[in-house]
């Protein structure tokens, strides 16, 4: 499945969340990650994020698609990071 995760968390935890998500997904913009993962990986991410975040202060939104083909992506202005696997 393909997911987009956006988060708005207290500044104390921004780096923690970013460092964690970097292990699984690709960074696209400040507070936005996306990438192809499995269902079990998503469950794991959810569980780990809930231990990092404070539920009364932070907010994390997960958009998920069956495949990458189910969504369309357009970029206006600069593309902040490339997500190709050929470097």
Partner 1 sequence: MTRKNYYILTDGILKRKENTLYFINKDGKRPLPIHSIYSIYAYSSLSISSQVVNLLSKEGIPIHFFNRYGFYSGSFYPRETLLSGDLVIKQAKHFIDNEKRLKLASDFVKGAIFNMKRVLSYYGLDNNMDTLLEDLKSCKKITEIMNVEGRARADYYKLLDEILPEGFRIGERTRRPPENMANALLSFGNSLLYSTIISEIYNTQLNPTISYLHEPFERRYSLALDISELFKPIIVDRLILYLIKKNMIDETDFEKDLNYSLLNENGKRKFVTEYDKRLKKTIKHRKIGRKVSYKRLIRLECYKLIKHLLGKEKYKPFISWW
Site for partner 1, rule CB under 8 A: 19, 22-27, 35-38, 41, 81, 85-87
- Residues in CB range of 26: below 8 A, 6 or more apart: 33, 34, 35, 81, 83
Q: Which is nearer to partner 1, 9 or 25 (CB)?
A: 25
**Distance, CA of 18 to CA of 20 (rounded, Å):** 5
Q: Which is nearer to partner 1, 56 or 66 (CB)?
A: 66
As measured in angstroms, the least distance from the Cβ of 54 to partner 1 is 21
Q: Which is nearer to partner 1, 34 or 58 (CB)?
A: 34
Q: Which of 20, 5, 3 is nearest to 61 (CA)?
A: 5
As measured in angstroms, the least distance from the Cβ of 23 to partner 1 is 5
């Amino acid at each position: 499945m393909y997911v987009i995760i956006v988060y708005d968390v207290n500044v104390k935890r921004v780096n923690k969340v970013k460092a964690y998500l970097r292990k699984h997904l690709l960074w696209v913009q400040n507070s936005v990650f996306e990438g192809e993962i499995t269902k079990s990986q998503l469950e794991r991410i959810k569980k780990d994020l809930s231990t990092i975040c404070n539920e009364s202060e932070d907010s994390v939104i997960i958009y998920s698609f069956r495949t990458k083909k189910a969504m369309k992506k357009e970029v206006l202005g600069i593309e902040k990071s490339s997500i190709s696997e050929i470097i």
